[in-house]
Structures are given as structure tokens and as C-alpha cells.
Chain A
Amino acid sequence: MTAMLTRPGDAVRAERDSFSQLLHAEWTKFRTVRGWVIGMIVGGLLIIAVNLIPGGQCGGMQANGQPGPGGPGCALTLGPTGQAVTDSFYFVHQPMGPTGNITVRVTSLTGSYSPGSSPGQRAASALQPWSKAGIIIKASTRPGSAYAAMMVTGSHGVRMQWDYTRDTPGLGGAVSETAPRWLRLTRAGDTITGYDSADGAHWTRVGIATLPRLSAAVQAGLFAASPGSSNVTSQSASGSSASGESTQATAAFDRVALRRMSPGSRWRGTSIGTGPNPGNQPRGGGYRQSGGTLTVTGSGDIAPKLPGGDGGTAGSVADTEAGTFAGLIAVLVVATMFITAEFRRGLIRVTLTASPRRGRVLAAKVIVLGAVTFLVGLPAAYIALLTGERKQHAGGISTYPVPALTEARLIVGTAALLAVAAVLALGIGAALRRGAAAVTAVIAVIVLPYFFAGPLSVLPAGAAEWLLRLTPAAGFSIQQAYPRYLQLDASYTPGNGYFPLAPWAGFAVLCLWAALALGLAGYLLRRRDA
């Protein structure tokens, strides 16, 4: 000590050394408490172990009477960008070359319940908000192929949509005899431009779609589709209370004008996507031609497909990380004890004697705990993803594909969620100093809001969403794997893996809470006697 004091040049180095020594001291404390190391490992294993619980099955019976995984109904239709899509509608089409255009006037769009569908609690009108009919240019009649379409919809006005996920609004208002809608699609190579008009004279460009590597010969024509009705029977946030019924949309087209079609071709009607996929698929459709009017009836939808919309024939990639909750509780207990045990044993007095600057002690604890938790969480989340997907595939369930970046965010985000939650627990533990109370408080602010918003299904959706915006449970947003689409009415509930905040925004809320807890802990640690 005297040597250091006599050489002022060493003061800076000593300062720096003391923090690395502090880190080393905290790491030694963590490493040498057997229960904490075991707790962390158990936390990591729990994240993976939840995937050992048998999940759902998809597929019919095998020849020997045993249920066999897989089957035609379990496969997902994939769109041009590799994501799962619904592609079923009635298509009245002709071949089209590399350039050309198609123009129609739509005079009506009506809805009806599909024949043979069981009448449940029916809404007044069978026309769904996203019932759609219009003109479409599609690479082929294969489900999932690239397309661009101009359409009138049940209650969202004129839209231009392409490649399942893209959606641009055009003219507003409903279509009728007195307020018809003119639609036009123009193809030039890979580029398809959509126009709309209220009078057939003044045209407005709605959008430009680029469909990469679109083949020279495509199909162009008229279409109609109507998704199943969703009669929400309960206002609770659980997604299971909605019952659907198959509907049909019928649209009347006249003034159909085609340019640069193959010579001598006639209209052909095809029901797209009604292959061997029983259950959630529409029953046909059709078209009628009288005079200059074409009437097309169709059912189904042309849209992205998301988890939770069907009877569990495909799984969400977020479900593979369901074990996060189990692992989180173990991690929170260890994180709380990392500070409360010092108070309980009186070790804190030794710690603070060795390093009187209390803020730095807290900082060292945060760094050691955060790093350890992150490094345990990362491989656990990765293995959980692999085992979870393997479990789904073993049950014949295909996993809704996600981009590689989303997968990476899911893994890194889960580890980061654990680490920041551990830091929050450390802060609350330092403030409360009592292990049992601190653990309860942390679980009450992180796990309980999710529980109230999701599985409990007592709260109305609005209140449940506010819980997931304001509390530390917002951090679970980082595990949302699939985006919401305006053009798809689905049950976007926490139970189905949808959070009210964007992934990183929700994570930021958790970080904010952790920072607040640390601030409070630092303040109290300085103010109080140890």
C-alpha cells in the first residue's frame, strides 16, 4: 500500500486494476458457490428440457392402426420468399406473354356462407372485411407461386397486393352498382403496375410490384376469394374462443379488356389450392359468363399464413423457446441470491471493506452476472430451437419458416432476455436485501404479467396488451417470431406469440426496468449501512 501511495504514476493503473480485481472477486464468489453454478446449469437445461414434453401430432393413421406423423394436410404452402402462405381462390384465367395488360370494371362484391358449412353464430353479413375479388397476374396455377393483384375488398377499399406479404391501399369505399371500381394491371417483364379508377377515364397508379424472375408465360385473369369468418365469442385474450366458418365471395365484372394475350385463348376456370388438403380449404367456386358480364365466386384467401390459425397442423418457431419461463425462474433465484446471500451471511461487510466504492461493487456484480447468464442462455436457446423443431417434425408438424435473421434474434434475444432479467433481479435483490421477498417481487413483475395476459385468459385483450407494454414482461416481445399483417385477420394474441410492442422495443422496456432497479439499488446501497 505504501509503495503505491509513494508513486503517483501508479494511481491510475491501480484504479484500473482494482476494477478488474473486483470483477475477479465477484467471479470467484459466483464460481465457488456450488448451488449457484448448479442453479445456472439447471436453468439452461430447463430451457431445453421443456421440449421433451410430447407435443401435438399431425397426420392420419398408418396402415397398422398407429397414428403416423406427416401427411398431405400437414405440409405448408410456401410463397416465393420462402414464407408460409395461404393460396386458395377461384381463378378465371388466360395465358399472358412478357408484356400486356388487363382492365376490368367491378360492379359488385357480395358474400355468402359456403354450402354445407355448419351454421354457427353467424354475423349479419357473410362478406368478410378481407373478402377480395379483382384481377391477378400469377406466375402459374401452382399454389404459392408469385403474383400481383388489384382487388376490391369487403371493407378495406381497393388494394394492390403482391407476393402474399405486400399490400398497398388504393381508392377507399365499398364497391357497388352506383360506385363501380375500375382496376388495371400492366405487365412489363418482371414489373407489374397496378392502377385504379372510379370512372374508367382518370387512372391513378396504386403500386409497382417487382416479381423477380417471372417467367415469360404467366396466367392473367379474374379471381375471387373469401377467408373463413371469425365470430369472436369471447373478448378474452386467449385465441381459442373464435370459431370460424367457411365463406364465399361473389364479384361481377364487366368491360373486361385484355391486351397481348395469346391469340385464340378462352377463359378457363381453376380452383387454386383445393388439392388434397381437407378441413380448412374451400369447396370450389365457379364463374358464369353472360353478355359482357363475368361473375366469379370463390372461397379461400391469398395471404400470409401464421401460426394459431389452424388446428395445429404447423408449429411456431417461438414455441421451441417455451422453456424460457422455466429457465428464467431458476436464473432469477440465482441472480437474487448473488446479492442477498452477501447480506444474509454478512459477507457484504467484507466486500465493502475491500472495495469501499459501492457503485463499483454493484457494477462488477452486474457484469459478472450478466455475462454468465448470457453465456449460459445462448447455447441453451440454440439447442432448444434445434430440439423443438426436431420434436415438431417428429410429430409430422412442419415449422412455419422464419428468415435466418429472425432465428438469430430469437436465440440471442432469449439469452439477452435472461441476462437483463437477471440484472433486474440483482437490482431488486440489492434493494430489498431479503431473498424470498426479492425473488417473489421479480417473478411477480416478469412472469406474472405474461401469465395474466396469456394463459389466464380472464383479462380483455386491451388490458392484457397494456400489461405487456408497461411491465418488464414486455421483454418477451423479443421472442415474437412472426410479423403482423394488416391484410390478415388473425388472432394476434400473446397466447399465439404476438406482443403489442415490436421485439426490440419490448426488450428496451425490460432494459429500462433493469436500469431503474439498478439505480435504486445503487442509491440504497450508498445510503444504507451494510
Chain B
Amino acid sequence: MTQAPPAQRACPAETSRPRRTSMRDALHAEWTKARTLPGNGWLHLAAIALTVVVSAAVAAAVRCPSGHCAEDPAKISLTGIYLGQAVIAIVAVLAVSSEYSTGMIRVTLAAMPRRATMLAAKAAVLTGPVLVAGAVAVLGSVLAGRLILPGHGIGPAHGYPDLSLASGPVLRAAVGSVLYLTLIALLSLGIAAAVRDGAAAIGIVLGLLYLFPILGQMVGSGTWHRHLEQLAPMTAGLAIQATTGLHSLPISPWAGLGVLAGWTAAALLTGVILLGLRDA
């Protein structure tokens, strides 16, 4: 770190032409890093595959012979998100933690000293592919549900709403699920920037996501149970998947996604602050 500046000072041509590293350069650098890591593409594919497979498996397992079950077809066909988000979280965590584990972060920050800009570029580069992967995964899941569910007593023939993106609530569930995955990715990025270690970061992310509902079921009752569901990033965020029984939800769909956005903002802010305070 300390050896680098003299080399720059020794070259007057460079100082006379001060070229500030812009956001565009940062984006380009981050995109190159993300693009050239072979594992990244595979993880996106894994997220898509796991989401669709789990969604299809759950749709295939659900039975409603009487045709009067309190099931939400959109929610069932998007169940794979519960697993797919874990893979998306890995992608996001690795974007930061792999730089720390290889020492690359020192090169990155030497090239781009403004750390907040670096993290913003990382977030932007992460968001694009996750949006694409999320959209593919959600479309695949909805398609699987549309093909499988009517055969199991949950379809338009039994009085359930058609699982088509033309209907408002289903579209909200689909678009919301893609946004949900993106917010999870950004949440994970923020936590990884704060924690720096990949294993610890993913542990915190998954704990934050899965623990609340499990604890809510086991210890909470009445008002506390409801508060837990309103505050937990996963249960609140996935309220966006509900298309039936909106009145009995602990939190309304968009407000729920807003709660998750709040968690994400808090995580990113923590990440930015700690990134600025600490040595790399």
C-alpha cells in the first residue's frame, strides 16, 4: 500500500492529467470481475434450477381432492424461492467475501479508493444478473404451477384464479418475487461487506431469513407471533406472493416488501460505514 504512491508521483505526465476514477470505471471493473469468475454463472443457473425444481416438486405434492382447500396457487407455485434465495445469497456474499479471502480487495481499493462507490458498483453489477436469473426462475416456476396444479384440484375448474401473468395479483406475486430476490441479494451484499468473511456472512443472512418463521411458530403466540411475521425479512417480504386471503395476512404485500427493503437499506448502510472505517 505504501509503496504505490511514489511511483505515481515520479511520473509528472500522470499528475498533470488527473484522471479521476469514475463510477463508470468502477462499474466496468466490477463487471469484468463478475463476468470472468466461472463459478458465478453456475451459481445463477443453480438458483434458477433449484427454484423451478422445488416449485414444481411442491406443486406436484400438493393435493386438494375436495377442491375446497385454503391454498394460494401463486404462493404454491413460487415455493422454490425459499430455496433459490439461498443460492442468490451465496452469489452476493461471494462478490465481496471472495475479494477478502484472496486479498484482491486491496487491489480493488487501491484502484478505486472511494469505497462507497466501489460498493455501489458492486451492487449495480450484482443487481442486473440477479434480476435476469430471478425473472427466469419465477417464470419457470409459474409455468410449472400452471401446468401441474390444475391436475391436482387447484385450477380454474375448481374456482381458483387462473395462474396467468395477465391477472393483477399473479403479476404482483411474480414481479414481487423477482424484486424480493434482488433485495435479498443486496441484503447479503451489505452483510458481507460488514462481516467480510463468507461463511459468517451467509450464516447471518440465512439465519435472518429462516430463523424468524421457525421461532415464530415455536415460541410466539398472539400479538408477538404477528409482530415477528411483520418484522422478519422473509415472512414480510414474501407477503408479496399472496394472491388470496389478503385480509388475513399479517402485513400487506407491498408493505411487506417495504420491510425487506428497510432491512436491505440498513445492511447496505452498515456495510458502507464499516467499509469506510476499517482497513481492508
Residues of A within 8 A of B (CB): 35, 39, 50-51, 53-56, 233-236, 241, 312, 319, 322-323, 325-326, 329-330, 332-333, 336-337, 340, 344, 434-440, 443-444, 447-448, 450-452, 454-456, 458-460, 462-463, 495
Judge whether A329 and B82 touch: CB under 8 Å. Answer: no
Per the bound structure, the CA–CA distance linking A458 and B82 in Å amounts to 12
Q: Which of these, A55, A438, A447, contacts B221 with CB under 8 Å?
A: A55
- B157 in contact (CB, < 8 A): no
Distance of B78 from chain A, by nearest CB (Å): 10
Contacts of B58 in A (CB 8 A): 458-459
Number of B residues, CB within 8 Å of A: 44
User: What's the least CB distance linking B163 to chain A, in Å?
Assistant: 15
Q: Are B200 and A53 in contact (CB under 8 A)?
A: no
Question: Which one of A319, A329, A436, A459 contacts B219 once the chains associate, using CB atoms below 8 Å?
Answer: A319
Interface positions of B from 57 to 95, Cβ below 8 Å from A: 58, 61-64, 68-71, 75-76, 79, 82-83, 86-87, 89-90, 93-94
Please give the distance in Å from A311's CB to the nearest CB on chain B.
Answer: 9
Task: Please give me the residue from chain A that is nearest to B208 by CB atom.
Answer: A329
On whether the beta carbons of B197 and A325 are closer than 8 Å, the reply is no
Residues of B within 8 A of A435 (CB): 97, 101, 197-199, 202
Is the Cβ of A454 less than 8 Å from the Cβ of B82? no
* Residues of A close to B94: CB separation below 8 A: 436
Evaluate whether A241 and B70 lie within 8 angstroms (CB atoms) in the complex, with A436-B97, A458-B75 already known.
Answer: yes
Q: Is B220 an interface residue (CB 8 A)?
A: yes
Cα distance, A332 to B203, chains bound together (Å):
8
A50 partner, pick from B62, B79, B215, B222, beta carbons under 8 A:
B215
CA distance A35 to B196 in the complex (A): 12
Q: How far is the CA of A344 from the CA of B199 in the complex (A)?
A: 11
Q: How far apart sit A145 and B81, CA to CA, in the bound complex (Å)?
A: 52
Q: Report the Cα distance A111→B198, complex, angstroms.
A: 62
Taken together as a complex, chains A and B put the C-alpha atoms of A456 and B235 apart, in Å, by 10
Q: Judge whether B210 and A35 touch: CB under 8 Å.
A: no
Are B197's CB and A53's CB within 8 A?
A: no
CB < 8 Å neighbour of A325 from B69, B71, B89, B215? B215
Q: In residues 212-271 of chain B, which contact A (Cβ within 8 Å)?
A: 213-222, 224
Residues of B within 8 A of A319 (CB): 218-219
Q: Which residues of B contact A452 (CB under 8 A)?
A: 82
CA of A332 to CA of B198 in the docked complex: distance in angstroms? 13
Can you list 5 A-B pairs with a CB-CB distance of less than 8 A?
Answer: A435-B101, A435-B202, A444-B86, A450-B214, A451-B82
CA distance A455 to B228 in the complex (A): 13
Q: Helix, strand, loop or mixed for chain A's interface? A: helix
Give Cα A459 to B152, complex, Å.
Answer: 13
A459 to B55 alpha-carbon distance, docked (Å): 11
A-B contact count (CB 8 A): 132
A235 in contact with B64 given A337-B200, A451-B210 (CB within 8 Å): yes
Q: How far is the CA of A333 from the CA of B211 in the complex (A)?
A: 15
Contact A443 B206 (CB under 8 A): yes
The CA of A373 and the CA of B191, in the complex, are separated in Å by: 26
Using CB atoms, name the residue of chain A closest to B101: A344
Cα-based distance from A325 to B62 in the complex (angstroms): 27
Identify the closest chain B residue to A388 (Cβ): B219
Asked if residues A451 and B199 are in contact (CB atoms below 8 Å), the reply is no
Interface residues of B in 140-187 (CB under 8 A from A): none
Q: Return chain A residues, CB-CB under 8 Å to B221.
A: 55-56, 312
Q: Quick one: given A233-B70, A312-B221, are A443 and B199 in contact (CB under 8 Å)? A: no
- Tell me the bound Cα distance from A55 to B79 in angstroms: 29
Closest Cβ neighbor of A321 among chain B residues: B218
Q: A234-B69, A447-B210 are known contacts. Are A322 and B219 too (CB-CB below 8 A)?
A: yes
Given contacts A439-B202, A459-B62, A460-B63, contact A55 B211 (CB under 8 A): no
Given known A-B contacts A435-B199, A436-B199, A458-B62, A326 and B69 have beta carbons under 8 A apart = no
Across the interface, do B219 and A50 meet the contact criterion of CB distance under 8 Å?
A: yes
Contacts of B210 in A (CB 8 A): 325, 443, 447-448, 451
Across-interface contacts of A51 in B (CB, < 8 A): 219
On whether the beta carbons of A322 and B62 are closer than 8 Å, the reply is no
User: Does A440 lie within 8 Å of B214, measured CB to CB?
Assistant: no
Contact of B220 among A53, A235, A434 (CB under 8 A): A53
- List A contacts of B206 (CB < 8 A): 329, 439-440, 443, 447
